Amino acid sequence: MAPPSSDMNNVVISSNIKLERLLSMKGGKGEASYANNSQAQAKHARSMLHLLKETLDGVQLNSPETPFVVADLGCSSGSNTIFIVNVIIDHITKRYQTSGDHSDLPEFSAFFADLPSNDFNTLFQLLPPLANQDVGTMEECLASTGHRPFFAAGVPGSFYRRLFPAKSVDVFYSAFSLHWLSQVPEIVVDSSSETYNKGKIFIHGAKKSTANAYRKQFQADLAGFLKMRSKEMKKGGSMFIALLGRTSEDPTDQGGAGLLFGTHFQDAWDDLVQEGLITSEKRDDFNIPVYAPSLQDFREVVEANGSFSIKKLEVFQGGSPLVVNRPDDAAEVGRALANSCRSVSGVLVDAHIGDKLGDELFLRVANRATKKAEEMLEKLQFFHIVASLSLK
């Protein structure tokens, strides 16, 4: 599936139906695509592998006659998801091989799930061919160089609703996705509301009432997410989650997410207003549907849901979202910040103001970040909430 086109200008990013139809990481393989701007996510995911493997050690191994099913929720369109699925299946394979109860291996299935607007085409082009499971033993197939040891399928749909049959998935994995809300709270873009986020496109540094509206939306979304997964997970299954988080209890302090979306990105929108390219109302109609929770925000929802046991819940320092070859080259740092921001929000921006103004916006992001390159490299650090949950 191709990413959404830019012929849907003037979309107000608030309705959950519109957002679900539009939201995706930037597809394709261009300079600002997610595939070419997700090296930081790959680095952060690799730094958490020991925590993922701890989660996998708690998964119940069923009869090898039953397929073992892995689902990545929020897979996007780069190679990171393929790497992670391979890590999961390799670890589970070793557990089967060393288990006295299961000398044989099951067949493995991997479901790559994301919103319908996700660029599944690019993802599927990155998948290596399936190992020939009709020749030799399954172990020989798993060792085939350059081949994948799992059946693959794409699952389009919101993970805030049902995606899979009941009791069908052994392992759920979701990284860098659950901080994306199902919608911007309507009162945040309602000019008659006291919660109206006037003058801003994100909640970093906003009024507390505005940030609390985001917090309630996040917790409602997470509650729906957990409810659906509790129906879909097999008995003895586990889930590993990593999402943007914060160390402050103040929801108006969004940490690394605040620096990414609330500084140069915010200022670039203001530039367009001051230059007469868009109205202030047009800017205020756009809000980034992201919320970085605290540990308490997350824990409250899991405990209220009651379907999952918390095996691990912590704040993990992920590092910078910027990957540059020459950190002393301010222009490269500026471009990296603009491309990083565009790879995750560009589709929404283009839908709201069009491609041409989108180009102008991110050019200004790059220019502003270039002037503050040293500060960006020093201060732009992400923290993640990492959770390991098992079905009770």
Residue 143 placed within a domain:
yes
Which one has a higher pLDDT value, 318 or 385? Answer: 385
Residue 374 placed within a domain:
yes
For residues 263-271, give the mean pLDDT. 90
* H or E segment and range at residue 258: helix 255-262
For residues 267-286, give the mean pLDDT. 93
- Residue 259 to residue 5: CA distance in whole angstroms: 28
Residue 332 placed within a domain:
yes
pLDDT of 78-127, one tens digit each? 788 999 999 999 999 999 988 876 668 999 999 999 988 888 888 888 88
pLDDT at 12: 44
Which DSSP letter does residue 114 get?
E
* H or E segment and range at residue 374: helix 373-379
Spell out where 223-378 has E strands.
233-245, 308-319
| Both structure tokens of 258 | 């605040």
Residue 9 placed within a domain:
no
Residues of the domain holding 250: 16-391
pLDDT at 262: 80
| Both structure tokens of 373 | 């390159």
C-beta separation of 360 from 321 below 8 A: no
Instruction: Give the distance from CA 15 to its chain's centroid.
Output: 20
Residue 53 placed within a domain:
yes
CATH number at residue 76: 3.40.50.150
Number of domains in the chain: 1
pLDDT at 163: 97
Q: Is the pLDDT of residue 38 over 60?
A: no
* Closest of 301, 164, 181 to residue 228, by C-alpha: 164
Residue 32 placed within a domain:
yes
Residue 136 CB neighbours (<10 A): 12
pLDDT of 133-148, one tens digit each? 544 444 444 444 567 8
Instruction: Give the distance from CA 198 to its chain's centroid.
Output: 27
pLDDT at 136: 40
Residue 10 placed within a domain:
no
- Residue 83 to residue 52: CA distance in whole angstroms: 13
pLDDT at 281: 92
pLDDT at 37: 52
